[in-house]
Amino acid sequence: MCVAVPAEVLEIRNDNIGLVDFGDLQQEVRLDLVDVQVGEFVLVHVGFAIQRLSREEGLETREVFRQVYAAMEN
């Protein structure tokens, strides 16, 4: 099973590299596969943004991931 994680694009740098925010972590990812602007949400899989999401979808999915991780810690 493959998992893609929602992240907000904070910055777009040279060579189509974006700085994204996963909520607790910021990381550089490749933006070659999507047309995206700063402030939009993307799904990230193995270092590549593979799909653009609405802000609502991104925040909702991020919350689901947070709840799953919290349940795993208990």
pLDDT for residue 69? 87
Query: How many domains are there within the chain?
Result: 1
Range of the domain at 28: 5-73
Q: CATH number of the domain that 49 lies in?
A: 2.30.30.140
Q: Indicate yes or no: pTM above 0.85.
A: yes
pLDDT for residue 12? 97
Give Cα separations from 56 to 2, 47, 66 (angstroms): 22, 22, 15
Which stretches does DSSP call E strand in the chain? Answer: 5-13, 17-21, 26-30, 41-45, 48-53
What DSSP string runs through 21-32? Answer: E-SS-EEEEE-T
pLDDT for residue 7? 96
Q: Of 31, 15, 16, nearest to 7 (Cα)?
A: 31
Written as six digits, the tokens of 2 are 């493959």
Average pLDDT by consecutive 10-residue portion of the chain (74 residues)?
A: 90 95 94 97 96 95 90 88
pLDDT for residue 43? 96
